Amino acid sequence: MKNAQDIITTLQYQPQYKKLLHNKCIQKLLSTILPAIRRSVKHSYIHKNKLFITITAGLNKYDKDNIINSIKMVLNSPMILESERFMECNSTDIEDVIVYIDHKPKTPLYLYTTQTDKLKYLERASGNVTIELEDKKLQELMQSIQDIIKKEKQEAHDT
């Protein structure tokens, strides 16, 4: 029986889902550059056998060339590409790496919260239940919970 990872791996090698494989390859190639620069990558994609990377920092020419050379080194080395780590990049044919620098700051991603996350529900239990247990400690605990419910119900009723 296949698990979810096996199904995704099978699907990503089909032609209609090649963008999944491209995305994994891009992530593996970006893992070769410095983490400080990797955090400033705005977006990247593959188009007509070229890898385009947009970075949101004011880099100098040396940093830009360093990114291009480190990725090209991986792409031109058959020993590195055939390793387990870059398995996704075998089927993608990347001929060139182009780095753009965008001076606009990277916008943070805010999760969408709905009003239902802020809803509070009133206690609907009345606490009018007889509790008959043999264990005294458990009986006292249940009684204290019942008293709390009755108290909250009374406070809600008063307001």
pLDDT, tens only, 85-112: 777 777 778 888 888 888 777 777 777 7
Give the pLDDT mean for 59-75. 80
Tokens of 10: 């099978």
Q: Dihedral angle at the C-alpha atoms of 151, 156, 157, 159, nearest 10 degrees?
A: 130
Position 159 confidence tier, pLDDT thresholds 50, 70, 90: low
- Distance, CA of 100 to CA of 42 (rounded, Å): 10
Domains contained in the chain, number:
2
Kindly state whether residues 96 and 53 are assigned to the same domain: yes
Tell me the Cα Rg of the chain.
29
> 43 in a domain, yes or no?
yes
Kindly state whether residues 130 and 83 are assigned to the same domain: no
Inform me whether the pLDDT recorded for 36 exceeds 80.
no
> 109 in a domain, yes or no?
no
> 64 in a domain, yes or no?
yes
pTM: 0.58
How far is residue 155 CA from its own chain's centroid?
A: 43
Q: How many C-beta atoms surround the C-beta of residue 86 within 10 A?
A: 19
> 110 in a domain, yes or no?
no
Residue of 99, 15, 87, 97 whose CA lies nearest to 48: 97
Kindly state whether residues 75 and 21 are assigned to the same domain: yes
Looking up residue 58, the CATH number of its domain turns out to be 3.30.70
Kindly state whether residues 37 and 85 are assigned to the same domain: yes
Domain that holds residue 138: 115-158
Answer left, alpha or beta for residue 149, where phi above 0 means left and psi between -120 and 50 means alpha: alpha
Kindly state whether residues 67 and 131 are assigned to the same domain: no
Contact 56, 106 (CB under 8 A): yes
Contact 47, 56 (CB under 8 A): no
> 75 in a domain, yes or no?
yes
Position 1 confidence tier, pLDDT thresholds 50, 70, 90: low
Position 4 confidence tier, pLDDT thresholds 50, 70, 90: confident
Please give the pLDDT value at position 144: 92
Contact 74, 80 (CB under 8 A): yes
- Distance, CA of 97 to CA of 123 (rounded, Å): 61
Please give the pLDDT value at position 52: 92
> 59 in a domain, yes or no?
yes
Kindly state whether residues 18 and 69 are assigned to the same domain: yes
